[in-house]
């Protein structure tokens, strides 16, 4: 599972790791825009098209959880058919962003609620390892702005544009990593070019 704030470089790392890992590799990204109705509703909420619902922390988190619940059979099939499955964002992202929006930490109530919903009630596959791309929020913000400028039909959403939120999300991610929440965490300096060969070795252990 590849985690990090918006603009951390998760997709770029996933592409590099796909080539560095020896074996059959599959990739999936969440939310599944254009694939799942839940993913499309998430995009609408992030761009202010769902009215007050987009500001409802538990409601938006439930859409993220439902997107993964719907994808769970596909994830299991990929795990059966491949040596590695790289997921760009997973359960930890729901925990980190929701907790940050509520001004809670990694040990707060919301993180426990996400655990109960996604793993307990929905039974999504448990991750084997996390890669956290740790990037200063100011660098990540510049990256996400450049990306939005090159993707004319996309634009920065309300969470990407909230620098204070991104800083709080980074802090929650650090707390989750320190606790090895759900699975071991490997922290990567995303402000430089990561050593994907070394990361591939760690994931293969």
Q: pLDDT tens for the chain, 205 residues: list them.
A: 999 999 888 998 999 999 899 889 999 999 999 999 999 999 999 999 999 999 999 999 999 999 999 999 999 999 999 999 999 999 999 999 999 999 999 999 999 999 999 999 999 999 999 999 999 888 877 877 776 666 644 566 888 888 999 999 999 999 999 999 999 999 998 788 778 888 888 887 7
pLDDT tens string 13-60: 999 999 899 889 999 999 999 999 999 999 999 999 999 999 999 999
Beta strands across the sheet bearing 2-3: 25-29, 84-88, 2-3, 130-134, 185-189
Please report the DSSP string for 115-159 in residue order. IIIIIIIS-PPPPS-EEEEE--HHHHHHHHHHHHHH-TTT---TT
Residue 169: give its domain's CATH number: 3.40.50.300
Parent domain of 22: 2-204
Q: Which pLDDT score is estimated for 110?
A: 98
Q: Which pLDDT score is estimated for 154?
A: 55
Across the chain, where does the E strand assignment appear?
2-3, 25-29, 84-88, 130-134, 185-189
What's phi and psi for 27, nearest 5 deg? -130, 150
Distance CA 30, CA 28 (A): 7
Query: pTM, whole model, 2 decimals?
Result: 0.90
CA angle 169, 100, 27 (to 5 degrees): 50
Closest CA to 173 of 142, 143, 140: 140
On whether the CB atoms of residues 181 and 95 are closer than 8 A, the answer is yes
How many domains, the chain? 1
Distance CA 111, CA 96 (A): 7
């Amino acid at each position: 599972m590849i985690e990090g704030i918006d603009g951390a470089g998760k997709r770029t790392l996933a592409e590099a790791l796909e080539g560095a890992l020896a074996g059959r590799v599959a990739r999936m990204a969440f939310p599944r825009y254009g694939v799942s109705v839940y993913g499309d509703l998430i995009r609408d909420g992030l761009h202010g098209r769902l009215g007050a619902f987009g500001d409802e922390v538990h409601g938006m988190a439930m859409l993220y959880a439902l997107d993964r619940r719907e994808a769970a059979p596909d994830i299991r099939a990929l795990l059966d058919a491949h040596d590695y499955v790289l997921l760009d964002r997973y359960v930890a992202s729901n925990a980190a962003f929701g907790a940050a929006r509520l001004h809670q930490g990694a040990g707060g109530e919301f993180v426990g609620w996400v655990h109960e919903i996604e793993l307990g009630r929905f039974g999504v596959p448990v991750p084997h390892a996390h890669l956290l791309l740790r990037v200063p929020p100011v660098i990540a913000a510049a990256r996400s702005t450049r990306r939005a400028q090159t993707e004319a039909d996309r634009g920065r959403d309300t969470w990407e544009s909230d620098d204070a939120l991104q800083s709080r999300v980074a802090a929650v991610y650090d707390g989750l990593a320190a606790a090895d929440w759900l699975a071991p965490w490997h922290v990567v300096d995303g402000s430089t070019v990561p050593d994907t060969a070394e990361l591939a070795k760690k994931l293969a252990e």
